[in-house]
């Protein structure tokens, strides 16, 4: 015949059940300590200086081309919308 499990609560708030649950007993607590080693290499610092040359050339090319293709209101408005969309995407480049 199996004994009935009894549900009970310990002082630390842990609730569980087992046979003889109302009898005095202890639970083994296992603790693990994890050490994380962080390595910071101060000697190797990567620096990056942005080169805007290609960006500046591209902006100059865009200025020239938009003036040659913007021959009417429709083409001018299309160029404007495309450039506004490009500007939004450039802003997202930082993120």
Q: What is the pLDDT of residues 29-58, one digit of tens each?
A: 556 565 555 555 554 555 667 888 999 999
Q: Which of 9, 41, 13, 32 is nearest to 22 (CA)?
A: 9
Model pLDDT, residue 76 = 94
CB 83, CB 76: distance < 8 Å: no
Which range, 6-20, 26-40, 74-88, is most confident? Answer: 74-88
Q: Answer yes or no: is pLDDT of 13 > 90.
A: no
Model pLDDT, residue 56 = 93
First to last CA, the chain: 67
Query: 5: pLDDT confidence band, cut at 50, 70 and 90?
Result: confident
């Amino acid at each position: 015949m199996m004994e009935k499990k009894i549900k009970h609560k310990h002082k630390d708030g842990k609730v569980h059940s087992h046979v003889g649950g109302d009898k005095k007993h202890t639970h083994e607590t296992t603790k693990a300590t994890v050490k994380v080693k962080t390595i910071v290499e101060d000697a190797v610092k990567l620096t990056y200086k942005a080169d805007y040359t290609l960006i500046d050339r591209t902006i100059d090319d865009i200025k020239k081309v938009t003036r040659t293709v913007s021959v009417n209101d429709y083409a001018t408005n299309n160029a404007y919308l495309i450039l506004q969309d490009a500007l939004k995407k450039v802003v997202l480049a930082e993120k």
